[in-house]
Amino acid sequence: MRVYMDGCFDLAHFGHANALRQARHIGEKEDDAFNTKDDEDEDYEKDGKNATTRTTRTTTTTCELVVGIVSDAEIARCKGPPVVPEEERVKCVKAVKWVDDVITNVPYELTPEFVERLFSGTHVASRRFFCTSLLFSSLLFLSFLTLSRYVSLFTPADEYGIDCIVHGDDPCYLPDGTDAYAIPKKLGKYREIKRTEGVSTTDLVARLLEFADSSDGGKDTTKSSSDGNSKRHESRFCTTASRIAQFAAKVSYSKTSKIHTEDKQRKRKGKEEKRKNVNAKNNDTCCYVVGAFDVFNAGHVELLEECSVAADKVICAVIADEYLTSDQTNQPPPMLNQSERAMSAIACRHCDDVVVGAPARITDDICKTFNVTAVVFEDDASITAQDRKVCEKNGVEILSVREKHFSRKKITIAKRVQANRALFEARQKRKMASEAAYYEQKSFVAEE
Ligand code: CTP
């Protein structure tokens, strides 16, 4: 089963991550139903009509989630300017643990030609599954499928073998007012998931504009609470225990999952190199990454990716709101609260565990609790003499992972919004109206 979800994924947030999680879950469910039926058929073949049906489920998935990422030019044409350029949006989407592959530069509109390419071809995962089933299937079933699947061996590379397309339950219109998903709907290949409430790019853009605007970088919280805009800062997202459990659950990958395979190889190679060169004694290294992880972005992904290559386990210590909002920090308060900040880290494939609301400093206790072997601070400048003392005492290495390609500083992102203020404000107006309409007509819709 190959599930497709497309989108802009601008300022890729945990609402997008939850959409991707649900899309993959739809595929897993349909895959499961198909495999169960296949097992039943198998029993029927073997044991005859009176056999009791067995409903064994396969333990490894063959489901893959393919994400189409809309180009910068297409977003500008259909929605207004993107905040985050395509390269960074791709980096963030690839880091979400439910994603198996991405297609870049996809059109905003699902044109007949593009839909044709999406649904054409049979992916290698399906071919493998087919080969296994060949051994057990009836002769009739075999001959029918052989013909159809044999053709797929010659599938051109730009055909994607997609089985269904998933989108959130918010309407998605083209600039001419028509439904962007009309074709897959007509073909019966469209599935819908519940949009995650309380988070959106629109909301984040508003917060970024306020942050960039405030003369002291957003420290003046009294301004926003008295000018009527304070609502923007109140989180509407409900962090439930089940949501955290869904995000933290182990993901099962198909043997052909492209991103997972590449990621595994990179990490294995990195660790082998490290052990060869440094003659490391410790085979169970734990990297503890301390930071705010506010407005999670490509810079954070790059940081966590590097940590995951250097250590066997990566723990994100998402600093508690109480530390980040205290006057002593001399820093602007975070734009997202600690639960919101933690959700993006939990959804990241490079992170093995998350401390939700961690202390801002490394302590003896933390070193022992998590068996920390290395510590990284999101911002090197924040390392204190006390941190160094604790690390020295506990034999913990302080790794300096500087910004490389992508900036982790939210002010860099906020300045992009500020630089295109007029365009963003126009976009905000349109989007806020459609979001308000969504909440207005809202009723209960079950999630995947
Ligand atoms: N999505 C979601 N919950 C959100 C935001 C987005 O389920 N809070 C889903 C959308 O419904 C879509 C996918 O994520 O299926 C990609 O969304 P995208 O194209 O990036 O844009 P928007 O729907 O406009 O989302 P946002 O307002 O956050 O940009």
pLDDT in tens, 122-157: 665 555 554 455 555 555 555 545 544 444 444 455
Residue 200, ligand 1, Cβ within 6 A: yes
Ligand 1 pocket, residue 35 CB under 6 Å: no
Between CA 339 and CA 344 the distance in angstroms is 9
15 lines ligand 1 (CB under 6 A): yes
CA of 92 to the centre of ligand 1 (A): 14
Angle between helix 421-440 and helix 201-213 axes, rounded to 10 deg: 140
In this prediction, the residues of the chain whose per-residue pLDDT falls under 70 are 34-59, 122-157, 215-234, 277-283, 328-329
**Could you tell which of 21, 170, 196, 343 is best to mutate to test the pocket of ligand 1, judged by most ligand atoms within 8 Å of the CB?**
170
Task: Select from 206, 261, 203 the least CA-distant residue to 14.
Answer: 203
Closest ligand 1 atom number to CA of residue 172: 23
**Closest ligand 1 atom to 431 CA:** 27
Encoded amino acid at 83, one letter: V
Mutate which of 195, 204, 207, 428 for ligand 1? The one with the most ligand atoms within 8 Å of its CB, which is 195
347 phi, psi to nearest 5 deg: -75, -10
Q: 172 CA distance to ligand 1 centroid (A)?
A: 10
Six-digit token pair at 350?
A: 């490079």
Indicate if ligand 1 lies below 6 Å from the C-beta of 365: no
Residues 6+ apart with CB under 8 A from 71: 86, 104, 105, 106, 107
Output the six-digit token pair for 354. 């998350």
The separation between the first and the last C-alpha atoms of the chain, rounded to the nearest angstrom, is: 17
Max CA-CA distance within the chain? 78
Cβ(337) to ligand 1 under 6 A?
Answer: no
Residue 401, classed as helix, strand or coil, is coil
Pairing of strands 64-70, 313-319: unpaired
Contact 22 CB / ligand 1 (< 6 Å): no
* Closest ligand 1 atom to 12 CA: 20
Helix (H, G, I), strand (E, B) or coil at 216: coil
Report residue 160 as tokens: 């994607």
Q: How far is the CA of 217 from the centre of ligand 1 (A)?
A: 28
199 within ligand 1 shell (Cβ under 6 A): yes
> What separation in Å is there between the alpha carbon of 240 and the centre of ligand 1?
20
Task: Provide the phi-psi class of 7: left if phi over 0, else alpha when psi is between -120 and 50, else beta.
Answer: left
CA distances from 57 to 178, 252, 322 (A): 41, 14, 46
Ligand 1 atom, smallest distance to 170 CA: 11
Test site for ligand 1: of 200, 427, 432, 447, most ligand atoms within 8 A of the Cβ: 200
Q: State pTM to two decimals.
A: 0.84
Task: Give the chain's length.
Answer: 448
Structure-block tokens of residue 157: 């590379």
5, 20 contact by CB (below 8 A): yes
User: 21 CB under 6 A from ligand 1?
Assistant: no
CA of 230 to the centre of ligand 1 (A): 23
Rounded to the nearest whole angstrom, what is the distance from the C-alpha of residue 153 to the centroid of ligand 1?
Answer: 35
DSSP assignment of 233-247: GS------HHHHHHH
Predicted local confidence at residue 33, as pLDDT: 75
Q: Is the CB of 24 under 6 A from ligand 1?
A: no
The sign of the CA dihedral 54, 55, 59, 63 is positive
- Give me the helix-helix angle, 338-346 and 241-248, nearest 10°: 30
- Ligand 1 site, residue 204, Cβ cutoff 6 A: no
**170 CB under 6 A from ligand 1?**
yes
- The pLDDT score that the predictor gives to residue 140 is 55
Q: In the β-sheet with 2-7, what is the strand arrangement from edge to edge? A: 101-106, 64-70, 2-7, 164-168, 190-193
User: In this structure, are residues 448 and 193 in contact, taking their beta carbons and an 8 Å threshold?
Assistant: yes
- CB of 161 closer than 6 angstroms to any ligand 1 atom: no
Atom number of ligand 1 nearest to Cα 9: 20
Nearest to 301 by CA among 105, 100, 104, 88: 88
Looking at residue 128, its amino acid is R
SS3 366: helix
Question: Computed from CA positions of residues 71, 72, 76, 79, in that sequence, does the dihedral angle turn out positive or negative?
Answer: positive
C-alpha neighbours within 13 Å on the C-beta side of residue 392: 6
Q: Which stretches of 288-363 are DSSP H helices? A: 298-310, 321-324, 338-346
What DSSP line would sit under 62-128, residue for residue?
A: --EEEEEEE-HHHHHHHTS--SS-HHHHHHHHHTBTT--EEEEEE-SS--HHHHHHHHSS--HHHHH
- Return the sign of the alpha-carbon dihedral for residues 355, 358, 361, 365: negative
Report residue 374 as tokens. 């290395």
Q: What is the pLDDT of residue 228?
A: 42
Amino acid 358: pLDDT: 97
